[in-house]
Structure 1
Amino acid sequence: MVSATTISKTEAERIFNESTQMQQGAEDVLERSIHACKELQQILATSFGPTGMNKLVVNALEKLFLTSDAEKIMEEMDVVHPAAKLLFLAAKHQKTEHGDGTNFVVLLCSSLLSNAEDLVKDGISPEKIVDGFKAAHRALLASLETGSGAVSLDDEKAAQRILSTAMQTKQHGGGKELARLVATACSHVFGREGRFNSDNIRTVKVLGGSQSFFVPGMVFTRHPESTIQDAARPKIAVYTCPIDLARTETKGTVLLRNKEDMLAVTASEERLMEEHVKAVADAGVRAIVTGDSINDLMMQYINKYCLLAIRVVSKFELMRICRSTGATALAKFVPPREDQAGFCYEIGTDEVGSTPITVFRQEEAKKSRVATIVLRAATQNVLDDMERAVENGVRTFGSLVKDQQYVYGGGAAEIEMARLVSKEAESVRGVEQYGMKKYAESLEVVAKTLSENSGKNGAVCVADLYAEHSEGKTSRGASTVYDAENTLDCAEHEVLDLLRPKKSAIELSVETAITILRVNQIIMSRPAHGPKPAAQRQQDFQ
């Protein structure tokens, strides 16, 4: 039987389709894979940290994106190399699960592969390098647990400090204000039973202006359909059906002999409609929310009985309004029972810039089940980037709910781990110690990149951090202020990273690096048949 590594080109042509591409040979495949990951790192490294730069990406559909979010950049770049694709999937999982640390995954994994390449060139087999990485990873996890602290979920200021570190990397200059809004919103919807649902945090984007704000409740970018636009402490009925008379499935025939018969039919319909609206009003309802259309004649009687009526087109928004007010969505236009009606503190209308909004506001002193952050910016691209930053902050708060432990940011935790892993490597005999030392050296990429992105010498910063950590100053990290010292006290400046996302990012980076190191052959079949993409137009960005 012929092994996979010894298949000749002629034999491969008989096995696979003629358009199948094959790369084999451990050194050649590994070198290509590592270079692909390093190129990805070079693109994303300049977007790392609070002083990172934005990328202007135009995707295949000619849609423009302005962001420093590593996962979004890779997604719109359409990464196709198999090894780089693995790295992209790891970063995407990190963002979905924790919201923070996507660029960290790319930097650390690429640094591990780059250092592994040096060992391969020195004659050390990838298997021995993998063993060294695994041994170093076990030592790292032990040191990571011992060097952590904890915050209280009842302290909104502490949550804001945690979120600020994660969100400043996405919004240069505006991360602290967004972190304050996200911390306030998350604290409002965080249940006393210890559960947190990220779907309860909504964002509404309003073009123009710069002052974003938080609303305890729901916000819709439209005014009510009724003439009544405001209501104080209303009882709310929510319907998924049209506000109209019920129609039968069978067809009926009405014989009209004269004009009196026609007027009688019309009058009976009007009477039925008024009875329906009056019954709802008599039940104490002062606001009607529907996910479907509202009959014009029904609207006349809704205005007659001084009811507020608004359409909510999205069924998901209808579910959130039920969650926010405590209402039950009814499939038939009937008066709600007491347990089916919802309540809120007030319903009001306003205009933000030129955009009309309707606010279902709950009392700020009490915890509301749904909160809304109204985002404002001068351009749509900035609004989209702010929305992504809020989503990352909400996911980070979800990680905070699960585990309140934190470590010092700014590369302080990574330098301390690198120092301890290097010390552990000295006690290991055999070739594995070289892999452990390269693992420790890879951890330096965080502090080095932060320093370089702020206009400083990364190598000097790393050397200063090692000197300070050896003196017991484990809270010292890289400074991102250009005209300041190379290092700063992360405890004093409240630069904190959550332990759970940090651990997950390190594990994903190591697992991805080990997976790529174990690849000795890449087989790519031909792409699926389909229409060719439209020709790209030349764009001038000057």
Structure 2
Amino acid sequence: MFQNSGGLQSLLKDGARHYSGVEEAMLKNIEACKQLSTITRTSLGPYGLNKMVVNNLEKLFVTTDAATIMKELDVHHPAARLIVMAAKLQETEVGDGTNLVVILAGELLRMAEELIQTGLHPSDIITGYEKASRYVDSILHELAVFNVTNQSDKTQVVKALTPVIASKVYGYEGHLASCVAEACIIVTDSGQRFDLENVRVVKIQGGVLDQTQTYRGMVIPRPAEGTVKHVKNAKVAVYNCPLDPQQSDTKGTVLIKTAAELKSYSRGEEEIAQKLVEDIHAAGIQVLVLGGSVSEIVMHFLELKNIMVVKINSKFELRRVARMLGAIAVVRLGAPIAEEIGFADEVSSEEISSTKVTIFRRESESSKVATIVIRASTQNVMDDTERALDDALNTFRSLTKDQRFVAGAGACEAEIAKRVKSYAMSNPGLDQYAVLRYGQVFEIIPKTLAETSGADPNYILPKIYAENNFKVGVDVENGSVKDMSEEVVDHLVTKQWAIKLASDVALTVLRIDQIIMAKPAGGPNLNKKPVMEDD
């Protein structure tokens, strides 16, 4: 223990590793973060390229969504995991702009690496980055070009949501934005507070994305049981237990010795089922929503009383239906009391494509719900569309708090780059080099948009600067530049959070000068497959 008294290694257990200094620790961390940033960079914009990710459960993801890529990548490098954590925080806080966080963080560290290699001390870089970050935060509100003055105006909401969807499902953004805007307006009607839980998304395979529709109410992707398929102005009871007299919470054994006893037992079961259904019918119930199974004998009596039965396997979906209908889930066999009964304007079993669905409709101040039914030919397209709609819904949630939008298509980033570079010239001291590079970082967004659309970034960027207008961005369709403020706008808060989180990650990584890794606990990984040698 006391023989090797020199160095940090003598303080740690055998198998521990440590790296220190700029070359070993800092530059290695920066390299890992740059590699992670490179993965998602080409996924930016309407013409962004897909990434094929197979996770640890061998599930396949083909997407341009940076949040999904970060979530499914099993990143082990500790510095790169800081970027993954920042991307997750952006997804939680705003719901969109995760790719912007990853790209900016990687580019900030790449610029820092160049400055370190030219001899600038990391503390000067940190000071410059902090100054520039505060300056960008102070000028961002000046770049607002559009305000959503009325959240019930479908035209304004569609304009705000279209670019969010276009970045993932280009070509269908107009129709999909219209569907999302319609759903958001339904659930916020009469001044109701917007809640993501009130907008449901159901995927039905078959057809094309143009057939995606918004339904007022809740759509359950399974038909009603029995023959009753349509009820209006219905009292609804929600049962979270099996509707079967034979099933009980306690187990027991019945010993039957004679045929008479068997006949009596069967008749008793039938009488219990009949009384249960008569009690339910007497309470005025016309629709039953069940979370468990229903016996054949109970189903027979329900049919005689013309009571509609809908089964929902998901307990979470069952709770949502109960909340929407104003009902309380019953967990006992017996008729519901008045407080447990819900109400629906209409419950109907309909057919979308070849899939039978059940739609619950209710016009109420307290429970306005809308469902967007996605139609597409493959599961992968439906999944990617669902992610795009989720981003759009989160953007609407953000605009209920802050209605300001900045010009998109790289226009906002190009203006930030120009202003920060001008600000750098007014800073004496070595940190002005870091401020200058901080401004150059934002040029990566218009450059990447130009690259992915097939245009020359070295031609596009100077042309944006030559226009001298903070609304001018990259026109990806024509490979040129123009005023994008009427077509493509980005939410100001999304940009604000993305820049803040990217700057924080870069500063955190630049403050690390030593990495100490303990020996991993536990034995060998039994799940790891052996390496197969080639013949």
Give the CA deviation at 1:50: 0.9
The answer for the alignment partner of 2:402 in structure 1 is 403
Deviations along 1:99-151, one digit per CA (max 9) or x if unpaired, are 21111111111111111112112211111111111111111111112222421
Given candidates 503, 507, 527, the residue that maps to 1:532 is 527
Residue matched to 2:173: 175
Instruction: Quote how far apart the aligned CAs of 1:79 are.
Output: 1.8
Compute the displacement of 1:28 (Å).
Answer: 3.0
Structure 2 partner of 1:32 = 28
Structure 1 residues 419 and 357: CA distance shift in structure 2, 3 A:
same
Post-superposition offset of 1:362: 3.8
SS in structure 2 opposite 1:435?
A: helix
Instruction: Please state if 1:150 is matched with 2:147.
Output: yes
Any stretches of 5+ residues in structure 2 without a counterpart?
A: none
Alignment deviations for residues 311-356 of structure 1 (CA, whole Å, 9 cap, x no partner): 1111110111012222221222333344432222322223334433
What letter is aligned with 2:147? Answer: A
Partner of 1:498: 491
* Farther-moved stretch of structure 1 (269-278 vs 253-262): 253-262
Write the distance in 2 (CA, Å) between the matches of 1:355 and 1:9: 74
Contact 1:27–1:520, Cα closer than 8 Å, also in 2:
no
Matches of 1:203 and 1:402, distance apart in 2:
23
Deviation digits for residues 506-525 of structure 1 (CA, Å, limit 9, x no counterpart) = 00000001011111122233
Report SS of the residue matched to 1:402: coil
Q: Which moved more, 1:316-325 or 1:329-338?
A: 329-338
Q: CA RMSD in A?
A: 2.6
Which of 126, 129, 132 is residue 130 of structure 1 equivalent to? 126
Alignment partner of 1:118 is 2:114: yes
CA contact (8 A) 1:189 1:369 kept: yes
TM-score, normalized by length of structure 1?
0.90
1:227 match:
227
| Contact preservation (8 Å) 2:190, 2:365 | no
User: Aligned residue pairs: how many?
Assistant: 524
| Greater mean deviation of Cα atoms: 519-528 or 209-218 | 519-528
Q: Structure 1 residues 213-222 or 509-518, which shifts more?
A: 213-222
Match of 2:53 among 54, 57, 67: 57
Which deviates more, 313-322 or 460-469?
460-469
**Structure 1's 449 and 63: CA in aligned 2 closer, same or farther, altered over 3 A?**
same
Paired residues of 2:230 and 2:349 also in contact (CA < 8 A)? yes
Q: 1:188, 1:368 within 8 Å by CA — same for their partners in 2?
A: no
Percent identical across equivalent pairs? Answer: 38
For the structure 1 residues 367 and 165, does the alpha-carbon distance in structure 2 shift closer, same or farther, using more than 3 Å as the test? farther
Deviates more, 1:442-451 or 1:242-251: 242-251
Q: Which residue of structure 2 lines up, in the alignment, with residue 391 of structure 1? A: 390
Match of 1:4 in 2: none
Distance in 2, matches of 1:253 and 1:272, equals: 18
Deviation at 1:450, TM superposition (A): 0.8
Following TM superposition, by how much is the alpha carbon of 1:77 offset from its aligned partner in structure 2, in angstroms? 2.9
Distance apart, 1:504 and its partner CA: 0.3
Q: Which segment is superposed worse, 449-458 or 521-530?
A: 521-530
Q: Quick check: 1:468 aligned with 2:467?
A: yes
Seen in structure 2, the aligned counterparts of structure 1 residues 269 and 209 have a Cα distance that, compared at 3 Å, is: same
Other-structure match for 2:65: 69
More divergent stretch after superposition (343-352 vs 297-306): 343-352
Contact residue 47 and residue 453 of structure 2 kept, 8 A? yes
**Following superposition of structure 1 onto structure 2, how do residues 372-387 of structure 1 map, counting pairs within 5 Å?**
372-387=371-386
Please tell me whether the aligned partners of residues 220 and 359 of structure 1 are also in contact (alpha carbons under 8 angstroms).
yes
| Residue aligning to 2:474 | 478
Instruction: Decide whether the 8 Å contact of 2:417 with 2:442 is kept in 1.
Output: yes
Cα distance in 1, alignment partners of residues 153 and 283 from structure 2: 42
**For residues 343 and 426 of structure 1, what CA distance do their matches in structure 2 show?**
67
Q: CA deviation at 1:257?
A: 8.1
Shift of 1:258: 6.1
Output the amino acid matched with 1:459: N
Compute the displacement of 1:466 (Å). 1.6
Between the aligned partners of 1:491 and 1:254, the Cα distance in structure 2 is 76
**Letter aligned with residue 316 of structure 1:** F
Contact 1:477–1:490 (Cα < 8 Å) also in 2:
yes
Q: CA deviation at 1:179?
A: 2.2
Larger CA deviation: 495-504 vs 272-281? 272-281
Correspondence for 1:84: 80
Residue in 1 aligned with 2:332?
Answer: 332
- 2:500 counterpart of 1:507: yes
Distance, in Å, in 2 between the alignment partners of 1:136 and 1:329 is 55
Which one is further off, 508-517 or 458-467?
A: 458-467
Cα contact 1:99–1:396 (8 A) shared by 2: yes
Q: Name the SS of the counterpart of 1:23 in structure 2.
A: strand
**Worse overlay, 501-510 or 375-384:** 375-384
Q: How does 1:88-487 map to 2 (within 5 A)?
A: 88-148=84-144, 149-151=146-148, 152-190=150-188, 192-193=190-191, 195-210=193-208, 211-245=211-245, 262-362=262-362, 369-469=368-468, 473-481=469-477, 483-484=478-479, 486-487=480-481
The alpha carbon displacement at 1:20 in A equals 2.5
Q: Any conservation in 1 of the 2:409–2:446 contact (CA below 8 Å)?
A: yes
* Residue 516 of structure 1, aligned match among 504, 509, 515: 509
Q: CA deviation at 1:361?
A: 3.0
Q: CA deviation at 1:192?
A: 4.5
8 Å Cα contact 1:242-1:291 kept in structure 2: yes
Measure how far apart 1:423 and its partner are.
Answer: 2.1
Shift in Å at residue 528 of structure 1?
A: 4.3
Residue 441 (structure 1) shift = 0.9
Structure 1 residue 408, shift from structure 2 partner: 1.0
Task: State the secondary structure of the residue aligned to 2:405.
Answer: strand
Q: Which amino acid aligns with 1:157?
A: T
Unaligned runs of 5+ residues in structure 1 are: 1-7
- How far is the alpha carbon of 1:368 from its aligned partner? 5.2
Q: Equivalences for 1:3-14 in 2 at 5 Å?
A: 11-14=7-10
3-state SS, counterpart of residue 345 of structure 1: strand
**Paired residue type of 2:526:** P
In the alignment, the residues of structure 2 paired with residue 56 and residue 160 of structure 1 have an alpha-carbon distance, to the nearest angstrom, of: 30
Preserved contact between residue 406 and residue 496 of structure 1 (Cα < 8 Å): yes
- State how far apart, in whole Å, the 1-side matches of 2:486 and 2:250 are: 75
Cα 1:214–1:248, aligned 2, differ >3 Å: closer, same or farther?
Answer: closer
Q: Contact between 2:345 and 2:362, CA under 8 Å: does it hold in 1?
A: yes
* Letter matched to residue 229 of structure 2: Q
Partners of 1:25 and 1:521 within 8 A in 2: yes
Moved more, 129-138 or 504-513: 129-138
Q: Measured at CA, do residues 248 and 140 of structure 1 come closer, stay the same or move farther in structure 2, by a change above 3 Å?
A: closer
Secondary structure at 1:344 match in 2: strand
- CA deviation after TM superposition for structure 1 residue 200, in Å: 2.2
Q: Deviations over 1:179-222 (max 9, x none)?
A: 22222222222365552221222222222221222222222222
Task: Deviation per CA, 1:53-82: give whole Å up to 9, x if none.
Answer: 111222333322110011222333322222
Q: What do the CA deviations read for 1:385-438 (whole angstroms, capped 9, x no partner)? A: 222222222222211122111111111112222222222222221112111111
Give the CA deviation at 1:41: 2.4
